[in-house]
Amino acid sequence: MPKTLIEPFRIKSVEPIRMTTRADRERLLEAAHLNVFLLRAEDVLIDWLTDSGTGAMSSRQWGAIMEGDESYAGARSFYRLEKVVQDLTGMPHFIPTHQGRAAEKVLFSTACQKGQVVPNNCHFDTTRANLEYLGVEALDLVIAEGLQPALIHPFKGNIDLVRAEGLLKERGDAIPFGMLTVTNNTGGGQPVSMANIRDYAALLKRYGKPLVMDICRFAENAMFIKLREPGYADTPVRAIAQEMLSYADGCTMSAKKDGMVNIGGFIALKDDRWLEGARNALILSEGFPTYGGLAGRDLEALAVGLEEGLQEDYLRYRLRTAEYLGERLEAAGIGFVKPTGGHAVYIDARTVLPDMPQAHYPAWALTNALYLEGGIRGVEIGSVMFGKRLADGTETYHGMELVRLAFPRRMYTQSHFDYAAEVIAEVKGRAAHIRGVRIVRQPPFLRHFTGEFAWVD
């Protein structure tokens, strides 16, 4: 058997990417105030800012787009997607939304109230923001192993059941439901085991609480279960995904991830406890219940995408891609969050720039260096994103200084990954010349998006 795992697709339509010189990139990054979010995408060679909505659709999806029924109410496309979602989730009620955060907003507005608390392995930032906006506390209870980047564990996304039970005992009255995010994006795209999902659901049930799953990367999580959890090696990934979902009472989905589309999301519910409230909230902000902020053609593309995202050849290639880049980094002596997750590799910037003080934002500096060296765009997950400037002018710093490289689905080939591995190794070789940054201007919230920076001399 040949060992090379090939991309399980061939390319029918191509989108040129623009080569730039280092001198070009120096000028472009200066003009973007040393913030890669402020670059134009056409000035980026390999864009690994996010895997959200950035993937390539298949010829079958593009074909399905022509089948879109754009009727305002009761469109054929709605019923087609509804059936796909019902089969996958085992939940009868399907509510389309324009993306994941809209699903969260609509569901939470009816399912929880000020003063309550919602446990999760780790809340994604929009999930947290939507809960906090309602005055609900968003509590992260991932297992301790999930917080140690270099530690290898097969299911670093698992929720800590002891702490979850403690919370249920102490503050049970204030818990409207438990959540679980698969895979755990905030914790490095790490999977949750079937055993953990089952036990968490049973625990919640003992206390009379429903389980809501954030299923953005349910297919990647199911494939990790197949590859890593005893007893699942011969189970089809689709059946694993169905079992995962069988333990949930409801779910929210950003279809921009494992839905394999550029826009879309949904809520699915097992019973009608939140149905009427969610539909009313949907009509107010998203649209009529049979389109929920999407065009009929978007519903069609998603119906196909949800099936394609579960193909095992695709998932094997998908997970192997991240693992392969991890092996190349390991060989170059560069640290990263281990094991590699499904959708991204998180480089530990301190292993590249061990002498740079946190005050010079090493992960931001490394992000800039990757762009300057090879036109690669990643995203800093460190003290710019999570640190704060306090009223007295001092700064708080984040525990980890990571650079996330997130991979759009079906878009880049192995040679792009080989190129990136070389660029990262070259950056490490030039570490002594990499300059840190200071913040020149920052907005009060989410400063990484629009903040402006200057080199530290």
Ligand X SMILES: *Cc1c(COP(=O)(O)O)cnc(C)c1O
In the stretch 329-348, what mask flags binding to ligand X with x, by CB under 6 A?
A: --------------------
Shortest CB 336 distance to ligand X, Å: 19
DSSP letter string over 252-266? EEETTSTT-SSS-EE
Shortest CB 106 distance to ligand X, Å: 12
C-beta atoms surrounding 393 within 10 Å: 6
Closest CA to 408 of 354, 342, 325, 337: 342
Tokens 């649209």 sit on residue: 287
Nearest to ligand X of 180, 310 (CB atom): 180
What's the rounded Cα separation, in Å, for the pair 11 and 18?
Answer: 18
Q: Please, which of residues 100-139 interact with ligand X by CB under 6 A?
A: 100-101, 124, 126-127
Asked if 159 and 141 touch (Cβ cutoff 8 Å), the reply is yes
In the stretch 193-232, what mask flags binding to ligand X with x, by CB under 6 A?
A: ---------------------x-x----------------
Q: Is 190 a residue that touches ligand X (CB under 6 A)? A: no
Shortest CB 344 distance to ligand X, Å: 10
Point out the residue whose Cβ comes nearest to ligand X. 100
Shortest CB 183 distance to ligand X, Å: 8
Q: Is 52 a residue that touches ligand X (CB under 6 A)? A: yes
Q: Which of 99, 158, 196, 383 is close enough to bind ligand X by CB under 6 A?
A: 99
Backbone angles phi, psi at 426, to 5 degrees: -65, -40
Burial of 440 (0-12, 13-18, 19+ CB in 10 A): exposed
Helix (H, G, I), strand (E, B), or coil: what is residue 377?
strand
**Beta partners for 406?**
344
Nearest to ligand X of 77, 254 (CB atom): 254
In the stretch 241-280, what mask flags binding to ligand X with x, by CB under 6 A?
A: -------------x-xx-------x---------------
Shortest CB 334 distance to ligand X, Å: 25
Tokens 């402006």 sit on residue: 452
Nearest to ligand X of 34, 268 (CB atom): 268
The continuous run of DSSP H or E covering 380 comes out as strand 379-381
* 398 CA to centre of own chain: 20
Here the tokens at position 61 are 């999806």
Q: Is 409 a residue that touches ligand X (CB under 6 A)? A: no
Sites of contact with ligand X (CB under 6 A): 52, 99-101, 124, 126-127, 181, 185, 214, 216, 254, 256-257, 265
